[in-house]
Amino acid sequence: MTLLIVPLFITGIAIANFQAANAGEPISPLETEKFYTETDKDFENNFFGTLLPIKDDGTQTVSAVIHPKKGTISSYNPGQYYAWTKVTAFEDLDSIRILENDIDCTASGVLNPSISKMNPPRIPGGAIVAEMCDDETEDLTSELAKSGALFIRPDGLVEVTVNDIDAGCMVFLGIKYSPGLKDEIATRVPAENRSCENWELVCGEVANGVTATNLVTPQNDNGVNFDCEGFFADAHRVLEVIGLPEPPVPCTECLEIAGQVASLCLDEGGSFEDCFSEAEPILSECALVCEGTAEEKTDTCSSAGVVKNNVCLLSGEDSGVCRDEAEAFFFECSGEEELPPVPCTECEVLPLLFILSCLDEGGSFEDCFSKVEPILSECALVCEGTAEEKTDTCNTATSLKNNVCLLSGEDFGVCRDEAEAFVFECSGEELPPVPCTECEVLPLLFILSCLDEGGSFEDCFSKVEPILSGCALVCEGTP
């Protein structure tokens, strides 16, 4: 026994694969087509309704009708529609059994509302069955419903069995639907919930009693049980709701999106500063338009504001100007006036990453430290944390500020005075002495970096001498 797989194309649309059981048979004894129509059927004239619009890929569409003030979906156009299965018998068949597998279109939940709802959700009413023979159409719905041959299964799907079908006759099963997305906020319908695939599973038994066994349903039938001991066929059609505005990005995804932009930029050899600058407008735009809870919105706007502030500082702009721009953005984004403070424990994270990336990209020790100093200083001034966290962050920023000042060639006393003033503004305390054991760490790193960059021994030691000398004058330790 062999199986003949015959791909069928009806009205120019790929419909299904059909399996024939008997070796040497020229064609399967049945073929199946799936399509959607409006509800203007007229059986007396063998008319099953006006086809819904069809896209180039075979998808059929309904158009969403949006409430102009509420922004909700008030209906579709058309407001009701049929999903039809058409089964054509090429031989006399004892029976044709059809299962409407519409789980993808009708299964709903809080986060994934269904596209379609059976209307009304009962038999008869929500389903209709007809047979067309010799250009005459007979409505079998009432007869089949009374006999129990047309019914809703425990899993919610509609199934029907029609007996004694003559060759050349066609059986139609239509399910009437209404808008499942009614009253949903249009912008909040996820992209994946704007289209669905409706399957038909069909089993036919040949009148001469010859049947095939172990024919299974398609893998993409959503796990629906539909055993067939005859000729099996399946058909499918995608329905899409069009006319909906683009769904907003969830606020919880904005940082991830911007991070992917920055990561790709770094992977392609971009500098930390350039990649950070490239990701900033992506994050800012996402924060402005994203949707989420009030807390999610505020957190995303805050993160975008901090990134905007840091990119501004990296560009060399004055810290006051950068802070004002960040505050203005945060107000536009969240409606709140003050940008939430950064935890003091996070102030050193970005500067450290930048310094490491800057040095790895070939930047000089002096340039890398100078670039990052205003970011750490600005964060230390506005961050919040325990008294110990605040003091530690201010001291770290002050030490960096002092060393950058010395590397620029400024007088030791001037740099020390600026550092003292900064730490008092930052923490309200005096600049603590540096342990003498730490005085040589930064100078040694600078010398190694300077020599590695091609600097002369004399120039490198000359640059670092005031840092080591200044530290030795004020450090504390054992004799």
Helix (H, G, I), strand (E, B) or coil at 459: helix
Maximum distance among all alpha carbons in the chain? 114
Place of tokens 């089993």: 203
Amino acid of residue 80: Q
Q: Can you list the domains of the chain with their CATH numbers?
A: 4-242 (2.60.40.740), 251-411 (no CATH)
DSSP type of residue 2: -
Span 212-240, mean pLDDT?
Answer: 66
Please report the pLDDT score of residue 212 as a whole number: 42
Residues above pLDDT 70, as percent of the chain: 88
Structure tokens at 324: 């004002």
Please report the pLDDT score of residue 228 as a whole number: 77
The residues that bridge with 75 in the sheet, in sequence order, are: 65
CA–CA distance, 400 with 408 (Å, rounded to integer): 12
Tally the C-alpha atoms within 13 A of residue 275's C-alpha that lie toward its C-beta.
20
Structure tokens at 174: 């239509």
Query: What average pLDDT does the chain have?
Result: 82
Pairing of strands 60-66, 231-242: parallel
Comparing 11-25, 42-56, 295-309, which segment has the lowest mean pLDDT? Answer: 11-25
The 10s digit of each residue's pLDDT in 153-207 is 887 899 999 999 999 999 999 999 999 999 988 887 888 889 999 888 888 887 5
Please report the pLDDT score of residue 223 as a whole number: 56
Please report the pLDDT score of residue 475 as a whole number: 76
295 burial level (CB within 10 Å; 0-12, 13-18, 19+): exposed
CA–CA distance, 7 with 18 (Å, rounded to integer): 7
Span 274-287, mean pLDDT?
Answer: 89
The 10s digit of each residue's pLDDT in 229-262 is 778 888 889 999 999 888 778 899 898 888 888 8
DSSP type of residue 22: S
Please report the pLDDT score of residue 42 as a whole number: 95
Span 260-282, mean pLDDT?
Answer: 84
Amino acid of residue 289: V
- Main-chain phi, psi angles of 184, to 5 degrees: -75, 145
